[in-house]
């Protein structure tokens, strides 16, 4: 069995009892970054073997992991934070398990974009999750396409590119388009800034930005 186990976004208490139970029971835990995951595992006295599984090695180790699963091992996959597969490694392994008819189970848990969406105050009955925008190639094309999107849009962004991205969104979506920016969700310095793209961009231009960022933008009227 392959278990996809969501991990806390920041607050170590935001993990389910079932997730802890699974992590303590499996033969191997795949970690996006073993150094980051060690904090969580140590906190809950989880001493099972760990192995790295991330975007730089997933193609190389994919078949070996699938072979171990077919041989009868139970393996859990966790990432640095949130649900595996959501802008994090997991898809290739899940697809391989599906091809080989290997049992897999995804446990419920933390996902940053859901918290940011519900907390934004923007319509959440219909939405689209875009993850990280292209850095260069296809970026303008994507913005032009999304300018016509009527559903609430959700993006992940790095602190270094936040102001640049908000500025570009003003250009394509309009400076008055309502939005929300959440950072450091569930952590000590959690913050959500709501308003127009212009006002939110101006706010973050005046202060240093740190932490994981989720941008939520209202769709076209």
- Convert the pLDDT of each residue in 33-47 to its tens digit: 999 999 999 999 999
The residue behind tokens 């898809």 is 91
Query: Tell me: the pLDDT tens digits for 194-213?
Result: 999 999 999 999 998 999 99
Architecture of domain 112-217: 2-Layer Sandwich (3.30)
2-106 adopts what CATH topology? Answer: Cobalt-precorrin-4 Transmethylase; domain 1 (3.40.1010)
Question: Measuring CA to CA, which residue among 68, 29, 65 is closest to residue 47?
Answer: 29
Cα distance between residue 34 and residue 21, in whole Å: 19
Task: Order across the sheet with 178-183: list the strands.
Answer: 127-132, 152-157, 213-217, 178-183, 191-196
pLDDT at 220: 96
Query: Tell me: the pLDDT tens digits for 154-166?
Result: 999 999 999 999 9
The CATH 3.30.950.10 domain(s) of the chain lie at 112-217
The CATH 3.40.1010.10 domain(s) of the chain lie at 2-106
pLDDT at 96: 97
Query: Tell me: the pLDDT tens digits for 93-144?
Result: 999 999 999 999 999 999 999 999 999 999 999 999 999 999 989 999 999 9
Across 19-23, average pLDDT:
98
């Amino acid at each position: 069995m392959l278990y996809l186990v969501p991990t806390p976004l920041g607050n170590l208490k935001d993990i389910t009892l079932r997730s802890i139970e699974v992590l303590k029971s499996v033969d191997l835990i795949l970690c996006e970054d073993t150094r980051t995951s060690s904090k969580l595992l140590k906190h809950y006295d989880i001493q099972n073997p760990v192995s790295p599984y991330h975007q730089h090695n997933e193609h190389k180790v994919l078949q070996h992991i699938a072979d171990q699963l077919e041989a009868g091992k139970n393996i859990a996959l966790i990432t640095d934070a949130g649900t595996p597969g959501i802008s994090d490694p997991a898809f290739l392994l899940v697809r391989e398990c599906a091809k080989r008819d290997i049992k897999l189970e995804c446990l419920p848990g933390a996902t940053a974009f859901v918290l940011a969406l519900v907390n934004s105050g923007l319509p959440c009955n219909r939405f689209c999750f875009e993850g990280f925008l292209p850095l260069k190639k296809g970026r303008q094309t994507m913005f032009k396409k999304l300018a016509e999107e009527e559903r609430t849009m959700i993006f992940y962004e790095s602190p270094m590119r936040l102001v640049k991205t908000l500025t570009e969104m003003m250009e394509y979506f309009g400076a008055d388009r309502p939005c929300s920016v959440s950072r450091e969700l569930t952590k000590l310095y959690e913050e959500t800034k709501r308003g127009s793209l212009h006002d939110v961009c101006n706010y973050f231009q005046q202060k240093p930005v740190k932490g994981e960022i989720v941008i939520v933008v209202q769709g076209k009227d």
